[in-house]
């Protein structure tokens, strides 16, 4: 019984720590909407980021409305496509890929 009392809080604490280190995709992407795209570019270029560990090459494309899209690799089989206006401000995003489901 004593072992269970010690183990349960330890497991709960570890789960809370690991869960808090990587925010859910929606929380992360929502937090950069309204900010300059340079914020995301800096995160992607950071050593140890998912992008740097997979050898990501920057991808962008233009939209018919004059905005452009910056693509960030979030995790395996999941990219975040940020819509960026002419002033380099993120105005929205779309998660794309099977790895984005349930995030």
Query: For residue 93, is it within any domain?
Result: yes
User: pLDDT digits over 41-85, tens only?
Assistant: 999 999 988 888 898 899 999 999 999 999 999 989 999 999 999
pLDDT for residue 48 = 87
Burial of 37 from C-beta contacts in 10 A (0-12 / 13-18 / 19+): buried
- Cβ pair 29, 95 in contact under 8 A: yes
Distance between CA 91 and CA 103 in Å, rounded?
Answer: 21
Query: For residue 27, is it within any domain?
Result: yes
Query: For residue 44, is it within any domain?
Result: yes
Domain residue limits at 51: 23-100
pLDDT for residue 23 = 77
Query: For residue 62, is it within any domain?
Result: yes
- Total domains present in the chain: 1
Query: For residue 16, is it within any domain?
Result: no
Lowest mean pLDDT of 69-73, 81-85, 89-93, 97-101, name the range: 97-101
Hey, what are 75's tokens? Answer: 């995790």
Please, which residues have CB within 8 angstroms of residue 2's CB and are 6 or more apart in sequence? none
Look up the pTM and report it.
0.76
């Amino acid at each position: 019984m004593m072992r269970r009392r010690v183990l349960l809080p330890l497991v709960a604490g570890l789960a809370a720590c690991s869960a808090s280190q990587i925010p859910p995709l929606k929380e992360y992407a929502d937090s950069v909407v309204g900010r300059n795209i340079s914020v995301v570019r800096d995160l992607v270029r950071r050593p140890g980021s998912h992008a740097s560990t997979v050898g990501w090459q920057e991808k962008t494309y233009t939209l018919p409305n004059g905005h452009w899209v910056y693509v960030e690799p979030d995790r395996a089989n999941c990219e975040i496509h940020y819509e960026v206006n002419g002033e380099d401000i993120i105005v929205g995003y779309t998660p794309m890929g099977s790895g984005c489901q349930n995030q």
